[in-house]
Amino acid sequence: MRCRLRVLMAEKEITQIQLRESLGLGSNTISKLYNNRFDRVDRETIEKLCDYFGVEIGDLFTLKDEE
């Protein structure tokens, strides 16, 4: 599974710091998702990210590398 956070952030032209401040997520959480080095993701984190970017879960996570 891959997280498309890097792509979504680039499209919105925001930094990890800006995202952290906007959503109140931890730096480690954002970094792990951004670099695809996560084992599991909290449901609340997924909901916050989907709401923030205006996407569905399938737009945030993919089963194969599409980048």
Sketch out the chain's domains with CATH numbers.
2-62 (1.10.260.40)
Looking at residue 65, what is its pLDDT?
56
For 40, list phi and psi in degrees, rounded to 5. Answer: -150, 160
Question: CA-CA distances (angstroms) from residue 54 to 28, 36, 39, 49, 60?
Answer: 23, 20, 24, 8, 10
Residue range 36-60: mean pLDDT, rounded: 97
Other C-beta atoms lying within 10 Å of the C-beta of residue 33: 24
Q: Specify the pTM.
A: 0.89
Looking at residue 64, what is its pLDDT?
74
